[in-house]
Amino acid sequence: MIPVALCWACRTSNRHDDPHDPLAAATAALAADQAHGDPAIWIGRLPDEAILYRARELAAEGPCGRRLWGVPFAVKDNIDVAGLPTTAGCPAFAYRPEASAPAVQRLLDEGALLLGKTNLDQFATGLVGVRSPFGVPRNVFDPARVPGGSSSGSAVVVAAGIARFALGTDTAGSGRVPAAFGNIVGLKGTIGSVSARGMVPACRSIDTISVFARSVDEALAVQRVIAGYDPEDPYSRPAPFVHLRRAAAAPEPRIGVVDASRLCDPAVAAQYEVAAARFGHVETVDLGPFLRLARLLYEGPWVAERTAALRRMLEMPEALHPITRAILLSGLDRRTVDAFDAFHLLAETRRQASRIFAGIDALLLPTAPFCPTLDELAADGIGPNARLGTYTNFVNLCDLAAIAVPAGFGADGLPVGVTLVGPAWSEGRLAPIADGLHRAATDRAGATQDPLPPPMAADPLGAEEMALFCIGAHMSGLPLNPQVTALGGRLLREALTLPEYRLYALGNRPGLVRQPAGAAIAG
């Protein structure tokens, strides 16, 4: 696997004198935060001196093989960081954890530099980014527009060039919608691939921690650090293969597309069509079944799951945002018999998704059908939010992975995003397609003028492949090689053993014996 640190070491920026220097990176992050001047991004930013002190420590220690050494990052404030309050956007709920969430601890162990905790729609209930007592983070392209949520602060802190990456969460699109509005990448991994311990649940069975970054490769680099099976998380799942390798781009990927003109604003539909036209092999997909399922996320049993996670907060109704309170109260009215209807529909839709992905490599969707204004939200706090989840609500329910990327700008100057969706554990296969779309549309991310870092090279092994060393007649060009190629094997390269082996003929097969005075055997 390609060392993750290379992705950060090669970055170029007019704000970083030395990208290898944690102190320079910290100083640049603090200067960018001051220049941006939006305190609503943060719920708990660390003091300047604390950030600089840790940067000096990291500089003195050196990289020590740590993959994210000195890279500034931020954490959505529904994810625990030891010693800092976790509020989930509700001061009355706040607690101070003794341990960091495993995802956060993995980042710290790899040398990443924490800047602080970011704002969010209260209890991650919303896609707009305005349902917070800590203010509304400013949309970096139009202050009259919503920033997107629920991971509003995490997206904005990356889009504004303050943090190199940030953790968000995603239940219904919270790791993708604000990425679109900030012209950045949002990676929503497979459910259970990242431990959810230390995360305040929204819908516990379908929540996942997500990553915001400037490029697909930077997001994938972070995902490689935070992903891993956690036996203490009952929803954690062991990966069936090394799914986070960056695959080589297929020459002609098979892409599923939809009719975006019916549900999207014209500017979004136009950019989506441009993105779809970049592919030579497209198949139209009927989203009807998925849209029917998506409506149940806010009308079916998953509303009750949100209520179950936060039922003690209903004893303090005055502490809740009015819309959050209304959502949690509505969960008390859900009926078990309706829940079983929803679960059966879910099973049918998941099976339909499996059939669709048997014929395509990825599904291309608009990330959000429009970007509402703050005035629209003030007039109707629920309708625009519901519309924002059109293309995102069903993804977690159907156990799919997704990468949201910038797709260019509309005539109004606002960024438009598209999302590549694939089956569970397909992140590495989606990465080259998503990265290619991003780079074809724009050479930057966020609202800064910094160019994108160069793309990473593909891993020589595909996401579902393992390396096998063949000797004897199974080698390429020899009689038994078809037994390997018939199972999907392909030649990576010629290789030699260490010079410590003897090769023997054992009738119809070869044998190797390790001997100090041996030779290097070709394979």
Residues involved in catalysis: 76, 150, 174
Q: Report the relative pairing of strands 415-423 and 510-514 from DSSP bridges.
A: unpaired
Give backbone dihedrals phi and psi of 309, rounded to 5 degrees, phi first. Answer: -70, -25
Residues 344/289, Cβ–Cβ less than 8 Å? no
The one-letter code for the residue type at 472 is: G
DSSP 305-366: HHHHHTGGGGG-GGGS-HHHHHHHHHGGG--HHHHHHHHHHHHHHHHHHHHHHTT-SEEEEE
Per DSSP, 124 falls in state G
Query: Token pair for residue 74?
Result: 């931020």
Nearest to 177, CA basis, from 416, 396, 425: 416
Q: Cα(206)–Cα(395) distance, rounded to whole angstroms?
A: 10
**Bond into 150 cis (ω within 30):** yes
**Residue 222: in which H helix or E strand, if any?**
helix 216-226
| Cα distances (angstroms) measured from residue 433 to each of 3, 251, 257, 371, 454 | 21, 10, 14, 25, 15
